[in-house]
Amino acid sequence: MIGHIRHYIEHYFAPHPSQEVKELFIASGMLSFATGSVSLFEPIYLHSIGFSVPQILLFNAALYVLYFFLLPLGGRICRRHGYEHTMLFSSPFLVLWYISLYAIPWNNAFIGIALLSLVMQKILYWPGYHANFATWSSKQERGREVSNMAAVVGLASILAPTFGGFIVVFFGFKVLLLIVAALILLSNVPLLRTPELYVPQEFKYFSALIRPFKKSARRRTLAFLGFGEELITLVVWPIFMITIIANFASLGMIVSLAMFINVLVILYVGRMSDEGERSGILRSGVLYSVASWVLRPIVSGAPGVFLMDTFYRISKNMLNVPLLSTIYDDAREGVVMETVIHFEMALALGKIIAATSAAMILWKFPNAWPTVFVLAGAFTALYALMPRKIPQS
């Protein structure tokens, strides 16, 4: 019996993650529970205080324009202060984002403060996170480590929407945001357990700024533009769901259940990725993800929302695990921070284009949900352009 359990664990879980990766697992899980408690309800909250869907989309477009141009500065800070330290620096800005979000109804000036706070959090957190994972993950089990990270985040996030939904229903957004702020700060504790060893290095701003547009990088830049569909997932899809399921608690429970089923599948995807099936898994994930968007206009009722959200999450992780594994492989074989910043900048471009396009559609045709979902499917198809081996430039 013990032998079967050990075989299962070694088959689907990374058997030898480094201490740094273990700490990242714990910290990411805690942070995901905190942000997952409120992220589903962020666009719904903004909508409830008077923002139209196009305005919420344009807010995100402005966010990612700033993110694109400030990312190389985040890379410089990472190179100078270390990956984990830079991740720690991001936490106060994330707390300020939630405080500003809550304060917007009292003064519109908090819109600008919220925007800048979230940009600062992103340029500090994501370069540090990706660089840290790329540096300390193992090439032999990288697919499983990526899938295990997704599973940890997924497990932490399973109860988060339900938790957030009930807090909103019984206590309101204010209490939820206070709880989330405390959890964000606590998520830094695991990263403090091991002293970070790093050597300060130079990182050139303008070289990073033009890298996504170089001829040798264009194909993978186009593939990374596919992440524009994530913005529609995070902004438009929750607002569409709340038009079908009017109760916050019920919506949170449906999303939590979809996440649980997704976690069961993702471990298998990670194992297959390590066994050399990355390209096939990625392309299957792209096909299924496109289908999940094309089919959304026919969704009706809670069962339809649940099935479509579950199908999408499984499909998205089928493409995410091999895609991120390939990016981390390339980062380790090349220059870690250059690869990470290129990925995040191209991702930002995709979200700028997606947000602007969706805003224009919904401004002209307020109920054109099917058109926006087809747009998301078109962005998703771009993932298929990801080369098997990313050339260095």
Give the position of tokens 């719904």: 44
CA distance 232 to 245: 18
Give the position of tokens 């620096």: 89
pLDDT at 390 over 50: no
Range with lowest mean pLDDT among 2-6, 157-161, 185-189, 307-311: 2-6
Torsion of Cα atoms, 233 then 25 then 127 then 200, to 10°: 180
Quote the pLDDT of residue 381. 95
CA distance 23 to 4: 27
| Cα angle for residues 69, 74, 76 (degrees, 5° grid) | 110
CA distance 108 to 97: 14
**DSSP letter assigned to residue 171:** T
Count of positions (residues) in the chain: 393
pTM of structure? 0.87
H helix runs in 82-108, sequence order? 83-103
Give 34-50 pLDDT, tens digit per residue. Answer: 888 877 678 888 888 88
CATH 1.10.3720.10 assigned to 19-187+216-385: no
Give 330-362 pLDDT, tens digit per residue. Answer: 887 777 889 999 999 999 999 999 999 999 999
